[in-house]
Structure 1
Amino acid sequence: RIILPCCLSHLSLSFSPATADTAQEGRDLFGYVGIEAVLDQMRRKTMKAGFEFNIMVVGQSGLGKSTLVNTLFKSKVSRKSCTPSYEEKISRTVHLKSVSHIIEEKGVKMRLTVIDTPGFGDQINNENCWDPIVKYINEQYEKYLTEELHITRKRRIPDTRVHCCVYFLPATGHRLRPIDVEFMKRLGKIVSIVPVIAKADTLTMDERLDFKQRIRQDLQASGIRVYPQKEYDEDVEDRIRNDKIRENIPFAVVGTDKEHQVNGNKVLGRKTKWGIIEVENVAHCEFANLRDLLVRSHLQDLKDVTHYIHYETYRVRRLNESNASVSGLSALPLENGITEKYEAQSQL
Structure 2
Amino acid sequence: MREDTTQDLQLEVEVEASVQMEEREGEDGVEQPPLCPIDPNTQGIIKGRDLFGYVGIEAVLDQMRRKTMKAGFEFNIMVVGQSGLGKSTLVNTLFKSKVSRKSCTPNYEEKISKTVNLQSICHVIEEKGVKMKLTVIDTPGFGDQINNENCWEPIVKYVNEQYEKYLREEQHVNRKRRIPDTRVHCCVYFLPATGHRLRPIDVEFMKRLGHIVSIVPVIAKADTLTMEERLEFKQRIRQDLEANGIRVYPQKEYDEDAEDRILNDKIRENIPFAVVGTDKEHQVNGNKVLGRKTKWGIIEVENVAHCEFANLRDLLIRSHLQDLKDVTHNIHYETYRVRRLNESNANGLGLSALSLENGTFDKNEAESQL
TM-score range, shorter chain: 0.7 to 0.9
CA-CA distance at 1:26 after TM superposition: 6.6
Please state if 1:106 is matched with 2:124.
Answer: no
Aligned to 2:230, which of 208, 220, 226? 208
Cα distance in 1 between the residues matched to 2:265 and 2:153: 32
For residues 69-80 of structure 1, the aligned pairs below 5 Å read: 69-80=91-102
Judged with a 3 Å threshold, the aligned counterparts in structure 2 of structure 1 residues 233 and 24 are, in CA distance, closer, same or farther, namely closer
Please state if 1:270 is matched with 2:292.
Answer: yes
Which of structure 1's runs of 4+ aligned residues deviate more than 3 A? Answer: 23-27, 335-338
Please state if 1:175 is matched with 2:181.
Answer: no
Number of residues of Structure 1 aligned to a counterpart in Structure 2: 309
Look up the match of 1:324.
346
Look up the match of 1:132.
154
For residues 1-348 of structure 1, the aligned pairs below 5 Å read: 27=51, 30-326=52-348, 337=359
CA-CA distance at 1:84 after TM superposition: 1.9
Cα distance in 1 between the residues matched to 2:242 and 2:49: 59
Q: Which one has a bigger Cα radius of gyration?
A: 2
CA contact (8 A) 1:186 1:336 kept: no
Q: TM-score, normalised by structure 1?
A: 0.87
Look up the match of 2:37.
none
Cα distance in 1 between the residues matched to 2:115 and 2:80: 14
Q: Percent identity?
A: 90
CA-CA distance at 1:239 after TM superposition: 0.4
Structure 1 residue ranges without an equivalent (≥5): 1-22, 328-334, 339-348
Cα distance in 2 between the residues matched to 1:149 and 1:131: 27
Structure 2 residue ranges without an equivalent (≥5): 1-46, 350-356, 361-370
Q: C-alpha deviations, 1:141-194, integer Å up to 9, x for none? A: 000000000000000000000000000000000000000000000000000000
CA contact (8 A) 2:154 2:358 kept: no
Q: TM-score, normalised by structure 2?
A: 0.81
Judged with a 3 Å threshold, the aligned counterparts in structure 2 of structure 1 residues 175 and 34 are, in CA distance, closer, same or farther, namely same
Cα distance in 2 between the residues matched to 1:319 and 1:156: 22
Q: Which moved more, 1:94-103 or 1:83-92?
A: 83-92
Look up the match of 1:4.
none
SS at match of 1:269: strand
CA-CA distance at 1:89 after TM superposition: 1.2
CA-CA distance at 1:337 after TM superposition: 3.3
CA RMSD of aligned residues (A): 1.8
CA-CA distance at 1:231 after TM superposition: 0.2
SS at match of 2:131: strand
CA-CA distance at 1:219 after TM superposition: 0.3
Cα distance in 2 between the residues matched to 1:103 and 1:25: 42
